[in-house]
Structure 1
């Protein structure tokens, strides 16, 4: 099987699949593929369009539609990533505030208990000991981290585990962690530039009932 390499070969392949070059001409598509995007990502948006059963060619699909979806997806990823970072910051802030207000905690004991259960979190921190951004913190505190240092060094995934561990140990003090794993997955997908809107078929995903109720109470949203 021949591997598609050049932009000309990719365009020929897309034409065979029924993708048109009427709105965006072939020469402009070639420039876009060379400088702005790559085939695998761009082609993934084809999943949003129907094919003819007779020849498996796409119906009324122009290269321009794939190009526009890739651009929309880029802006959506930037927006969602910013939202996820804001949520991550809010989770850290609320967790640390509750630890500070918790008379049963000194900020060290909860971390000692956590890393005893999840040793991998410390190993993950050690992987970043050469980083200019966190080396000094790791050298100063490892392995006896206070909570306010620990949350600066761990991944969002380990932060979710720490949050979950804390609310299990001290029930009722903070909101549950039901949605945090979904946010972690979204954050990772956007940070790694994964496609978000390459499959928009109706009914593939359903939001949490909590989200539906929350959004329905926002003025102006039906």
Structure 2
């Protein structure tokens, strides 16, 4: 099924929200248009409406119950703050887990930094090619391109952790 939705102007977006039962008592329509123009976009903002009840029947069947545009704005702001917090946590986890790994390797006299990477790459099986492709895609990167070209696939641990994404790490 091919569903084609018409592009809407900001004014039409506000009208569509109103048609769905979203009110503009706390956050007036003019402010809503400004908000949708300067702060957020319709698709993302309206995704939060799914958290609210709709009238099950009657003249307002399918329209939202007591949902003001301001509530969607509040949820978008909370979502943004939460994403920022989660990003900070993820960056800290990445940094400290890499730090711990490198300290363990430094204290292991039997480990040269290359064998652990080789063992890791072997453990990936068929996924090894996927990781190697992702690494090679960064070969022209100003941040890690020189490292990739210098080691040409024979990476020690301290370089591999710099060139792979956190997800691959």
Answering whether residue 101 of structure 2 is matched by residue 90 of structure 1, we say no
Q: Deviations over 1:137-166 (max 9, x none)?
A: 11111211110011000011211xxxxxxx
TM-score by length of 1: 0.68
2:42 matched to which residue of 1?
39
Q: 1:135 to 1:2 in 2, by over 3 A?
A: closer
Please give the alpha-carbon distance, in whole angstroms, between the structure 2 residues aligned to 1:46 and 1:142.
Answer: 50
Aligned with residue 121 of structure 1, among 131, 137, 153: 131
Q: Distance in 2 between matches of 1:144 and 1:2?
A: 51
String of CA shifts for 1:110-132, please: whole Å, max 9, x gaps. 11222234322222111011111
Equivalents in 2 of 1:132, 1:94: separation in Å? 26
What is the distance in 2 between the residues matched to 1:113 and 1:123? 18
RMSD over aligned CA atoms reads 1.3
Q: Which has the larger radius of gyration?
A: 2
Deviation of residue 30 (structure 1)? 0.5
Name the residue aligned to 2:114. 108
TM score, norm. by length of structure 2: 0.89
Correspondence 1:3 to 2:6: yes
Separation in 2, partners of 1:89, 1:116: 25
**Equivalent residues in 2 for 1:1-222 (5 A)?**
2-54=5-57, 55-118=61-124, 119=128, 120-159=130-169
Q: Which runs of 4+ in 1 moved over 6 A?
A: none
What is the deviation of 1:4? 3.8
SS at match of 1:57: coil
Q: Deviations over 1:7-42 (max 9, x none)?
A: 111111111110001111111101111111111100
Q: SS at 1:156's partner residue?
A: coil
- Alpha-carbon distance, 1:2 to partner: 4.6
Q: What is the CA–CA distance in structure 2 between the aligned matches of 1:131 and 1:93, rounded to whole Å? A: 23
CA distance in structure 1 between the aligned counterparts of 2:159 and 2:36, rounded to whole angstroms = 44
Unaligned runs of at least 5 residues, structure 2? none
